[in-house]
C-alpha cells in the first residue's frame, strides 16, 4: 500500500518553548480530524526540541522526524548527532539530503549513502530529498539531475531496504521562494522518478513508493498539487510553522 504523508520541516526555526506550543497546537487540532489509515503526519523540529515535543503529541497521529543525522555510528565526531541517539529520543524518520544541506554543508551522494544506511539500521524512515537547481531546469537537465541523485545514493540498496525509503522531490528554485512547481511539472517528474525506480527494482516497489512534493506548498495550492496521481503528499517548510496552515495542508490530502 502506498502511504500518503504530510511532513513539516521546521528547519532552524522556533525556540524550545515556541516549538512545544506549535506541536501542541497541531496535536490538538488533529484530535478533531480522523486520518485515513494510509495518511501519516510527520513533524521535523530541530534536534534540541525533539525530546520535549515528543512528550506533547499523540504518537498514533504524529511521527517525529529529525532534519539530519551523522554519517557515522559513533565516536570522535564533535558536534554530530547519531541516528541511534535520534531514535532513542523518539524520532521515527530522518530527512536526508535536503538541498540546503547539499548547498551549505556540502552533502554529497557518498555521505548520503552512509546516512541512509544509519537510518535504515536504526529502523527509521529515510525521507530522501532530491531536486534540481533553476539553471539545471532551464538547461533541460532536471530529469538527469534527479535520476543521478537517486541512483547514486539509493540504488545500491536491496529491494527490502529500498522499500523503506520515502522520496521528496523538491526543486531548489521552489524552496522558500513562493514559486511552486505547477501540478503538471510536479506530476511529470514524480512519474519519471517512479519509472526510474520501476526500471531499477520492479513495478510493485515503484507503485508502493511514497513520493512527496516540496517547495512553497501552502494551504492555497496543496489540494491542487496533491490531486496528481504520482504526488503522495508534501514536505512543507514555511507553512509548517503555523498550526492552522499545516492542518489545512493535511486536510488537503484526506
Q: 120 with 126: CB under 8 angstroms?
A: yes
Please answer whether residues 62 and 41 qualify as being in contact, where contact means their C-beta atoms are separated by less than 8 angstroms: yes
The grid coordinates listed for 173 are 528554485
Which residues lie near ligand PGA (CB under 6 A)?
Answer: 9, 170, 175-176, 214-217, 235-239
- Only one residue has cell 530541530, namely 46
C-alpha cell at 150: 537517486
Q: Which residues pair with 129 in a beta bridge?
A: 168
Q: Read off the DSSP letter of residue 164.
A: T
The Cα 225–Cα 221 span in angstroms is: 6
- For residues 51-60, one letter each, b for 16 or more C-beta atoms within 10 angstroms of the residue's C-beta and e for the rest, the string is ebbbebbeee
Q: Inter-axis angle of helices 16-30 and 243-251, to 10 degrees?
A: 40
Give dist(CA 254, CA 250) in Å, integer.
Answer: 7
Q: Answer whether 38's CB lies under 8 Å from 3's CB.
A: yes
Amino acid at each position: 500500500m502506498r502511504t500518503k504523508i504530510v511532513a513539516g520541516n521546521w528547519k532552524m526555526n522556533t525556540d524550545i518553548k515556541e516549538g512545544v506550543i506549535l506541536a501542541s497546537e497541531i496535536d490538538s487540532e488533529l484530535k478533531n480530524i480522523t486520518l485515513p489509515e494510509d495518511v501519516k503526519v510527520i513533524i521535523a523540529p530541530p534536534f534540541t526540541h525533539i525530546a520535549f515535543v515528543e512528550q506533547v503529541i499523540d504518537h498514533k497521529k504524529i511521527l517525529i522526524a529529525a532534519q539530519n543525522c551523522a554519517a557515522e555510528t559513533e565516536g570522535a565526531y564533535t558536534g554530530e548527532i547519531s541516528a541511534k541517539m535520534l531514535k532513542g529520543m523518539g524520532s521515527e524518520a530522518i530527512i536526508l539530503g535536503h538541498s540546503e544541506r547539499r548547498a551549505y554543508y556540502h552533502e554529497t551522494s557518498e555521505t548520503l549513502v552512509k546516512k541512509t544506511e544509519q537510518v535504515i539500521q536504526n529502523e527509521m524512515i529515510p525521507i530522501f530529498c532530491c531536486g534540481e537547481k533553476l539553471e539545471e531546469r532551464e538547461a533541460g537537465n532536471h530529469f538527469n539531475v534527479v535520476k543521478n541523485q537517486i541512483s547514486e545514493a539509493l540504488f545500491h540498496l536491496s529491494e527490502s531496504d529500498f522499500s523503506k525509503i520515502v522520496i521528496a522531490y523538491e526543486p531548489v528554485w521552489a524552496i522558500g521562494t513562493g514559486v511552486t512547481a505547477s501540478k503538471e511539472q510536479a506530476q511529470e517528474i514524480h512519474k519519471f522518478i517512479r519509472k526510474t525506480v520501476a526500471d531499477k527494482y520492479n513495478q510493485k516497489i515503484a507503485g508502493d513508493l511514497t513520493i512527496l512534493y516540496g517547495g512553497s506548498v501552502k494551504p492555497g495550492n496543496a489540494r491542487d498539487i496533491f490531486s496528481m496521481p504520482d504526488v503522495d503528499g508534501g514536505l512543507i517548510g514555511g507553512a509548517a510553522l503555523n498550526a492552522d496552515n499545516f492542518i489545512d495542508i493535511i486536510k488537503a490530502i484526506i
